[in-house]
Structure 1
Amino acid sequence: MSTPTTTRDVPLLDYIDQIDGPWLEAALAGNFPGARIEGFSAHPVGAGNVSDTVAVELTYAERPEGAPDSVVVKFRPSDPDVHAHGLGSGAYHREIGAYRTVQTPNCRLPRLVHVAGDETNINLVVEDLTSATPGDQVAGCSVEAAHAVLAELAGLHATFPMDPETAPDWTIKLPEVADYWTEKMQAGAAIIEERFAEDLSPDDFAAIRDGAALVRDWHHLAPRLQTLTHGDPRVDNVLFEEVDAKPRAVLIDWQVTGVRNPMYDVGYFLSGSIDIEDRRTHEDDLLQRYVDRYNAISETPYDLADARADFRVQVLSGLIITTAAIAVLPDNEVVNRLILALIRRNCAAVTDWGSIAAARAAIAG
């Protein structure tokens, strides 16, 4: 086990079992100076793919006003193979950057207590939201919950317009990852053809094949509008609180944050996280209310017609990521049930919107 280094007077730890009272006091000090920890207990929470995450219950010898009963602490994974993926994907660097940047009432994410690290490590301490309701990706979410998610995405996008040329170096820029996603999607498409031969329709397979053929060029498109995007707003990366008898979404797992067209997030979410018939029935209203929320915040309006045109091309984001995922995920019942739920919704949205033809036209243009 390596010796912890120090960042901003708070030791940068490598493993969850290194947490102690002095470290917790130092991590709390920026928000709750004078906190003195008498004791604590930690238990694992969540199922993060590139992290070890625990909820830490706190007891105080001296408790400043507002100091929390508990916090959630997220570190780099102790599993060396999973850690290698975190290093290769840049997940730590991006999540650190996102939590330092997205400090706005316009977008709800867990309130930050402390964050430190670099490309090789992360120490993240946030408010404990384990009492909130997590999303269920296979079941999908209700229309009301979908409106709640889009409200937070609109707040994020409207608050942080970004030029890829001047954006922070921790953000993903799509042209830079084109080769990776092209390789993975094309590999995943071949697996899907074999594994789900009896489960998908001819239109589904056509969408997957055609998407795999244009995925590289799609990543090199230069959309009319680019903003800071979450990048992975599946409903299982969302927690739901009840506020005034309505759901409010909390966006978590900011490990693929990047500079993209805002409809990348919107298309990704709506094409994968809501029932197909619910999407078809309500997507016009969902997009209208997204644009209304965006325009209530942004100084530069996003015209609904432009948003719909962008959506038609960007909704391919869900199909690309789901198809690519099957190339790296294990072949088991749980994974296959998840992939099948996603891919059916993704393909339906791509077919409904004529996204392949729209993407080809954008690439040709």
Structure 2
Amino acid sequence: MKAPSGGKRITKGWLEFMLAEHESRERPGTRVSVADFAVRQGIPPGEGFNSDLVLVDVTAELSNGPGEAQEKTYHLAAKFLHADPFAAEINRRFQSHIKELRMYAEVVHELNAFLAARVPEESPICIPNMIYGKENGSEYVLVMENIKAAGYMTNDKRKGLDVKHVMRSVEEIAKVHAVSYAYNKAHNFLEKFPCYQFKAEYLNVIPAFLKFSLKNCVACLNTVKGKEELAKKVENAYPILSKKFYALHDYFGNACLCHGDFWNCNIMFKYQQHDDDQEQTLEGIKLIDWGNSSWHNPMIDLQYLLHTSTTLELRKTHIDDILQKYHTVFTSLTTKLGAPLPHYSYSAFREDWDRTAIYGFILGNITIQGTLSTTYSGNKPQGPSVLDHGALTPIRLVVNSIKTGMAKLIGPIILGPNGAKYMGMFVGSMLKPIQREILSGTNEILNARLLDALCEADEKGLFDE
């Protein structure tokens, strides 16, 4: 059956078909009759860059023969290609939707089977369970369990992760890195899953974001007395940071499967509430949103997590404990899996960490501005379009077809080696409202996190030749 193109086009018939296919994996021939369903937006505006996510609650009756009917409630999360044609075209070129679907359908199962065979006492890599998936070029949908209904939740991005949550997150990503690294030694990961090959064109969108985010950084520093010298340094830092950033990617280091967008809102936690007091025990963790995953240097995930999702105070106070935790999990698990890393002491690991600091600053700086701003247009709810009216469907299809054609024409130019100058026009208009918010001083958390990131980068000498 043809998959719907978005949440508004989910039908009872498609739900029955999809759920029957899911249930029939364990009980062949199971029939599903949907009694009721409801669809709602899955994530706040501005946080779904790779896809559109909706949540679907379904009440259905399952039957597998006479007298065997039973009622069942499903809580689902369904992902579709982004409704914006330009975003959808970019994601097609990066294969974001394919990579995420394969993570749920094949990759994690393969890695967990490898882990269980060699280290059976180790817990598996934790992601939501997949219910259904389809990708054939013109159609795409990924349906997973809605783990919020099972008690999982994300941490407040404005507060950042505390030590307990960082340690648990680092432990989990170290497992992903270690298992994929060891699996590759035995089976050649990229030969089996070539879509995860890192491509240089991924980097072509960074210069435009870097240039305009630095302008916002200068604006931030100009609001703080005593930071005039640092403001001048940051104002002239673009060529220096660009050179260091691209040099970093010439040094690849140890390679494994990386999440690629490993930050606060892509990590979900579950807690156990104790009856005798208000304390909560961290019970479970699941990693979500794998559309940016690729075969890369594992430091990329670590740098991204700590520079987007923690405060400077936490990094200064606990960085050694955090990195020791990661190194211990990674090296001990790769050894147990039969793929020990020779000559990779903690001091060698720290050298890798220091070498990749430029990535943490650049991506952290850009992400902080986009996720903590209250004025960024992507974070504002989008009202219904007049073209959503049923009578205007033909016009909507024509408009979308034109947009898609333009996206296919412009997409390769933007992602090409000279794409920065074209991307700059778009990025400039997107980040300009954030600059006004920074200058107004109304978003104290955004300004404080930016200031901390800039002072930390300066201490590390990132703005120096």
Cα gap change, 1:238/1:205 in structure 2, threshold over 3 Å: closer, same or farther? farther
Aligned to 2:53: 53
Asked if residue 41 in structure 1 is aligned to residue 15 in structure 2, the reply is no
| Alignment TM-score, normalising by the size of structure 1 | 0.81
Map of 1:201-220 to 2, 5 A cutoff? 201=227, 202-203=229-230, 206=233, 209=238, 210-220=240-250
Partner in structure 2 of residue 197 of structure 1: 222
CA distance in 1, matches of 2:447, 2:349: 28
Q: Is the 8 A contact 2:36 2:60 kept in 1?
A: yes
Q: Out of 248, 259, 270, which is 1:241 matched to? A: 270
Q: 1:171 to 1:149 in 2, by over 3 A?
A: same
- Give the deviation of 1:219 after TM superposition: 2.3
Within the alignment, does 1:127 sit opposite 2:167 as a pair? no
- The match for 1:283 is 319
Match of 1:12 in 2: 3
- Answer yes or no: is 1:97 the counterpart of 2:102: yes
Give the partner amino acid of 1:70. H
1:273-298 Cα offsets, whole Å, 9 max, x none, are: 11111111111111111122223422
Structure 1 Cα separation of the partners of residues 57 and 245 of structure 2 = 46
Give the corresponding residue for 1:261: 297
CA spacing shift, 1:79–1:315, aligned 2, 3 Å: same
Output the CA distance in 1 between the equivalents of 2:137 and 2:264. Answer: 27
Amino acid at match of 1:173: F
2:366 equivalent to 1:313 = no
Equivalences for residues 1-365 of structure 1 within 5 A = 11-33=2-24, 34-36=30-32, 37-47=34-44, 48-62=48-62, 69-100=74-105, 101-103=107-109, 104=112, 105-117=123-135, 122-130=140-148, 131-161=151-181, 166=191, 168-171=193-196, 173=198, 175-194=200-219, 197-199=222-224, 201=227, 202-203=229-230, 206=233, 209=238, 210-223=240-253, 225-242=254-271, 245-246=281-282, 248-298=284-334, 299-301=339-341, 303-323=345-365, 328=427, 329-332=430-433, 337=443, 340=447, 343-351=450-458
Which is worse superposed, 14-23 or 322-331? 322-331
| Residues 79-88 or 269-278, more deviating | 79-88
SS in 2 for 1:180: helix
- Stretch deviating more after TM superposition (200-209 or 57-66): 200-209
Matches of 2:231 and 2:136 in 1, distance apart?
41
Query: Take 1:341 and 1:171, find their aligned partners in 2: how far apart are those partners?
Result: 36
Write the distance in 1 (CA, Å) between the matches of 2:224 and 2:140: 40
AA in 2 matched with 1:313: R
The alignment partner of 1:61 has SS state of: strand
Using a 3 Å threshold, how does the CA distance of structure 1 residues 312 and 35 change in structure 2: closer, same or farther? farther
RMSD, aligned α-carbons: 3.4
Change beyond 3 A, Cα 1:206–1:237: farther
CA contact (8 A) 1:268 1:316 kept: no
* Preserved CA contact (<8 Å) 1:204 1:348: no
Shift of 1:35: 4.9
Write 1 or 2 for the structure with the bigger share of helix: 2
Per the alignment, do residues 353 and 24 of structure 1 end up closer, same or farther by CA in structure 2, a change over 3 Å counting?
farther
1:197 to partner: Cα distance: 3.1
Distance 1:196 1:355 in 2: 16
Secondary structure of residue in 2 paired with 1:245? strand
- Relative to structure 1, is the Cα distance of residues 355 and 35 closer, same or farther in structure 2, using a 3 angstrom cutoff? farther
2: CA distance between counterparts of 1:121 and 1:191?
A: 39
For structure 2, the residue ranges without an aligned partner over 5 or more in a row are 25-29, 65-69, 113-122, 273-279, 370-423
Q: Percent identity?
A: 19
Give the match for residue 398 of structure 2: none
Instruction: Give me the whole-angstrom Cα distance separating, in 1, the residues matched to 2:35 and 2:144.
Output: 20
- After TM superposition, the structure 1 stretch with the greater mean CA deviation from structure 2, 241-250 or 192-201, is 192-201
Query: Structure 1 pair 248/309, CA: closer, same or farther in 2 (3 Å)?
Result: farther
How big is the shift at 1:262? 0.9
In 2, the alpha carbon distance for the partners of 1:191 and 1:175 equals 27
Letter paired with 1:77 = H
Q: Matches of 1:269 and 1:158 in 2, distance apart?
A: 17
Q: Is the 8 A contact 1:135 1:236 kept in 2?
A: yes
Measured after TM superposition, the shift of residue 140 of structure 1 is 0.7
Q: Report the CA distance shift for 1:167/1:271 in structure 2 as closer, same or farther (over 3 A).
A: farther
Which range moves more in the overlay, 57-66 or 11-20? 57-66
Q: Distance in 2 between matches of 1:233 and 1:112?
A: 20
Larger Rg: 2
| Corresponding letter in the other structure for 1:290 | Y
The answer to whether the 8 A contact 2:155-2:268 is kept is: yes
CA deviation after TM superposition for structure 1 residue 82, in Å: 3.8
- Cα displacement string for residues 80-121 of structure 1 (whole angstroms, at most 9, x for unaligned residues): 344344345432223223323123353222221222226665
Query: How many angstroms does 1:52 deviate by?
Result: 2.1
Equivalents in 1 of 2:209, 2:314: separation in Å? Answer: 30
Q: Using the alignment, how far apart are the partners of 1:172 and 1:135 within structure 2? A: 31
Cα 1:182–1:139 change in 2 (3 A) is: same
Preserved contact between residue 238 and residue 252 of structure 1 (Cα < 8 Å): yes
- Once residues 340 and 165 of structure 2 are traced to their aligned partners in structure 1, the CA distance between those partners, rounded to angstroms, is 27
Q: Is the contact made by 1:155 and 1:294 (CA closer than 8 Å) also made in structure 2?
A: yes
Alignment CA distance shift 1:285-1:63 (3 Å) = farther
Secondary structure in 1 aligned to 2:131?
A: strand
Q: In 1, Cα distance between the equivalents of 2:345 and 2:71?
A: 42
